[in-house]
Each structure stands twice: as C-alpha cells, then as structure tokens.
Amino acid sequence: MTVAGGASVLSKLLVGAVSDRLGVRWSLAWNFILLIVALLWLQMAENLSMLYPFAFAFGFAYGGIMALQSVLSANLFGLSSLGLILGSVTFIYTIGSAVGPLLSSYIFDITGSYRSPFLICVLLDAVALVVVLITLGMKTVVH
C-alpha cells in the first residue's frame, strides 16, 4: 500500500507536466495502458518481490488517471457544466468502488481465486482506454 500510495502521489505531481507535452488524452491513454499492464503483471506475480512493480505501476497509473479526469472533462465539455459532469463521474465511480469489492469477494467465494475479478478490471480498463482513444478525434471546447 505504501508503494502504491507513494507512486500515486508522484504521478499526481508529474502528470501535469507530461500532459502539457503529450496532451491530456494521450497522457490518460498511457496511464490506462500502464494500469492494464500492471493488472496483467499481477496475474503472474508469484512472490512478494513481484508485487512491488505492480504496486508502483498501479499507483502511478491510478494517480495519473484521477488527476487527468477533470482536465479531460473540462476540455471536452467546457466549464459551464463541469460540476455536474464531475459529480456524475464521481457518483458512478463511487458505485463501482462499493460494488467492486463485494462482487470480487463473491467471485472469490465461488472460484477460490481473485484472478477473474482482476481480469474483469483489465477488461473495464481496456474499455476506458478505447473511449479515451475515441476522444482523440473529438474537438476540445476549451483550448
């Protein structure tokens, strides 16, 4: 948890500068790619030393995604409805945060493994990556 938390803080400090150079959408896309790679790496982890790279990559990617979501929303939809949009995104995220652990526990009780829940996370992150890549062709409201 310390490694993931530290990487998340580092990411939140660095992602702004990176997104200024690459663009918010590309930075967000790279963070989703890193998150997917981290979750796939977790599937292969066999000992504690293999969890440290996962924790760093996961924390860094997650921190970057959280820092960039409001910027992307503002770029796509402008500032006039930003509160409503971020409130909706946060509401949906909160539902996922509440349901995810319960569903993961249920799947673990049935299968005896957390492999399936983490693969579901990979799938959902892949969908999010595709959505971000689709936005690359969209115009920005705020320059």
Please give the domain boundaries of the chain with CATH numbers for all domains: 2-135 (1.20.1250.20)
User: Taking residues 41-50, what's their average pLDDT?
Assistant: 92
Comparing 140 with 6, which gets the higher pLDDT?
A: 6
Residue 143 confidence (pLDDT) above 50: no
Residue 120 confidence (pLDDT) above 70: yes
pTM over 0.85: yes
77 touches 141 (CB < 8 A): yes
- Residue 142: the pLDDT is 55
Cα→Cα distances 136→26, 69, 75, Å: 8, 14, 11
